Chains A and B, each alone.
Chain A
Amino acid sequence: MVTITLILFIFVASVVAGCVGALLGLGGGIIIIPFLTLGLGIDIRYAIGASVVSVIATSSGAAAAYIRDRITNIRIGMFLEMATTTGAIIGAFLAGLINPRVLYFIFAMVLGYSTIALFQRRHVELPEGVVPHPIATKLQLAGSYYDQVLQQQVNYISAGVYAGFGTMFIAGIISGLLGIGNGVFKVMAMDMFMKLPMKVSTATSNFMIGVTAAASAGIYFARGYINPAIAAPVALGVVLGAILGTRLMVRLQNATLRKIFLPFLLYVALQMLIKGIQG
């Protein structure tokens, strides 16, 4: 039975997850799953269900503010969503066929790869020398936002559209498999391949992870993964945390955010690897 203390505990942790998720465009699932499974010993299936809820809550809670501030690029988000939603459907069907131990290993690998990707981009503030992709020009995969920290209007256009689109398809499959929006992959695709400003990448990822997760949410609900006693405090906490996170994000440098998050990401990756080995 789930006690009030446990509900409060999950709520507080979810506020943190929502805040970090909103800051980095990760969706909070990356924190919620290890917290529930490693921290509280909750069944991985319920943790995945709670994480789907967390991803959509982060996305919905953060997107309102990011869209208002024009940091989110709806066009780029919607364009890339074609790849992710298709991938998510494929991934969700694979999830029922793979045992939890394999999921831990996959999660450890995803996190390990994310850590390396983040480490390599730790000093980058704004992308330079961007060559616009022909499709980016044709489909207006471009935009402009005001950066509060840099105190300037930042104009941008997308580079490697094909690489970004392909990575998004894989991100969708992983999202459907693990019940996480896999914002890390999305942010990476936009930051590394499409060469968008980091804040645009995280905010657009935030918008997208909700849509991607919604594609597999119905399947998880029907399978009984969404346990209300666990998912309710997660949803409420994450929404609150995400709103706080958006207030913080516009005041921070991206380079600072990466450095703070790096050791944490590595730690969770190793924890998941150990869990996978122990079974």
Chain B
Amino acid sequence: MGLFKGQAQKSSAQPFMVEDLISLALRIGVIVSSIITASGLLLLIITGQSGYPPDTFPTSLNHVLTGIFQLKPFAVIEAGLLILLATPIFWVAASSIAFLLRRDYSYTLISLYVMLMLLLSLFLGKAE
């Protein structure tokens, strides 16, 4: 029992699983979004066209998605940027799961509250 307690304290000082899960979610988000954004930017520079009328760009998820299939440079860039913008949501989700797996219920609830606030703000943004 004493040994178990010691280990629990050590793991609270260096919670490997939570950190590693979040770190992984981060890396994936950053790499994927950078590749897509860079591809879109290269397309823009090579073709010299954005795929949209001057001074306009897609501002809804639907327009971005339809634009990607037509390989419109601005739509590809926006898709990459949206993945980047969504990355923090994945970390919060990853940490909720990690805290739950560690049976740390206070922090599972805290992470879920933050997650709820993020989703709420995304929904409110879309509703405008």
Contacting residues of chain B (26-44) with chain A, CB-CB under 8 angstroms: 26-27, 29-30, 33-34, 37-38, 40-41, 44
| B59 and A74 contact, CB distance less than 8 A | no
A residues with a Cβ closer than 8 A to B are: 1, 4, 7, 52-53, 56-57, 59-61, 63-64, 67-68, 70, 72, 74-75, 78-79, 81-82, 85-86, 88-89, 92-93, 139-140, 142-144, 207, 210-211, 213-224, 226-229, 231-233, 235-236, 239
Task: Given A228-B40, A228-B74, answer yes or no on A89-B117 (Cβ-Cβ < 8 Å).
Answer: yes
User: In the complex, what residue of chain B is closest to A238 when comparing beta carbons?
Assistant: B84
Which among A86, A140, A214, A236 has the highest number of chain B CB atoms within 10 Å? A214
| B128 and A78 contact, CB distance less than 8 A | no
| A219 and B33 contact, CB distance less than 8 A | no
- Report the Cα distance A251→B87, complex, angstroms: 28
Residues of B within 8 A of A89 (CB): 117, 120-121, 124
B114 interface residue (CB < 8 Å to A):
yes
B6 interface residue (CB < 8 Å to A):
no
Task: Given A232-B80, A239-B30, answer yes or no on A211-B88 (Cβ-Cβ < 8 Å).
Answer: yes
B residues with a Cβ closer than 8 A to A are: 12-15, 18-19, 22-23, 26-27, 29-30, 33-34, 37-38, 40-41, 44-45, 50, 54, 57, 59-60, 73-74, 77-78, 80-82, 84-89, 91-92, 95, 106-107, 110-111, 113-114, 117-118, 120-126, 128
Residues of B within 8 A of A216 (CB): 121, 125
Residues of A within 8 A of B19 (CB): 67-68, 70, 72, 74
| B110 and A214 contact, CB distance less than 8 A | no
Known: A89-B117, A235-B81. 20 other contacts (CB 8 A): A53-B85, A56-B87, A60-B88, A64-B23, A78-B95, A78-B110, A79-B107, A79-B110, A88-B117, A89-B121, A140-B12, A142-B13, A144-B13, A214-B86, A215-B121, A218-B85, A222-B126, A228-B50, A228-B77, A232-B44
A-B contacts counted at CB < 8 A amount to 172
Task: Given A57-B84, A236-B34, answer yes or no on A229-B50 (Cβ-Cβ < 8 Å).
Answer: yes
| A215 and B117 contact, CB distance less than 8 A | yes
Query: Chain B interface mostly helix, strand, loop or mixed?
Result: helix
Residues of A within 8 A of B118 (CB): 85, 211, 214-215
| 27 A-B pairs with C-beta separation under 8 A | A56-B84, A56-B85, A57-B30, A57-B84, A60-B84, A67-B23, A68-B23, A74-B22, A79-B110, A82-B110, A85-B117, A88-B121, A89-B121, A142-B13, A210-B91, A213-B85, A216-B121, A219-B121, A222-B128, A223-B128, A226-B59, A228-B73, A229-B50, A232-B80, A235-B37, A236-B37, A239-B30
| A144 and B14 contact, CB distance less than 8 A | yes
| A4 and B77 contact, CB distance less than 8 A | no
| A222 and B59 contact, CB distance less than 8 A | yes
CB B61 to nearest CB in A, in angstroms, measures: 9
User: In the complex, what residue of chain A is closest to B74 when comparing beta carbons?
Assistant: A228
